[in-house]
Amino acid sequence: MKIILLQDVKKLGKKGEIIEASDGYARNYILPQKLGVEANNKNLNDLKLQKKNEEKIARQLLEEAEALAEEIGKKPVVVSMKAGEGGKVFGSVSSKEIAAAMKAQNGQDIDKKKIQLNEPIRSFGTHEVGVKLHPQVTATLRVKVEEA
């Protein structure tokens, strides 16, 4: 019996896949648990429409992420830090501070978890930081650290 999976099923397949299952397994487990539906013409057509809709949404999210990446790359973010001995930064600039400065200065709310800092910024000057907006889009943000 051909089944369209509605959820991921271990050792069987992922959501949206069309699989071949024995009649007993399908009738007694997959269908009653609502893990899948029978692959008839109506359900196959619904699956096609659903996949088209998901592709459209994914394309739209990618375009929005690319537009945001361009906008992020245009304006640097200025972070003020206290200076310690010898003109070094007292402490370090974290992704949380960069996200807060970004919201205050540019009005863009970016999750601090998306900011990719290999190590905390511990010096004055301009630093380039990656911001992962989408699995395929990473923006480069210029962070200017000044003495307060």
- In this model, does residue 84 exceed pLDDT 80? no
pLDDT at 86: 75
Q: Helix or strand or coil: residue 127?
A: strand
Find the angle CA(10)-CA(14)-CA(16) to the nearest 5 degrees: 145
- In this model, does residue 88 exceed pLDDT 80? no
Segment 64-90 shows an average pLDDT of: 86
Q: How many residues does the chain have?
A: 148
Q: Helix or strand or coil: residue 35?
A: coil
Find the angle CA(34)-CA(9)-CA(25) to the nearest 5 degrees: 65
Q: Which of 41, 40, 19 is nearest to 30 (CA)?
A: 19
pLDDT at 78: 93
Q: What is the CA radius of gyration of the chain?
A: 25
**DSSP symbols for 62-126:** HHHHHHHHHHHHHS-EEEEE-B-GGG-BSS-B-HHHHHHHHHHHH-----GGGEE-SS-B-SSEE
| The model's pTM | 0.70
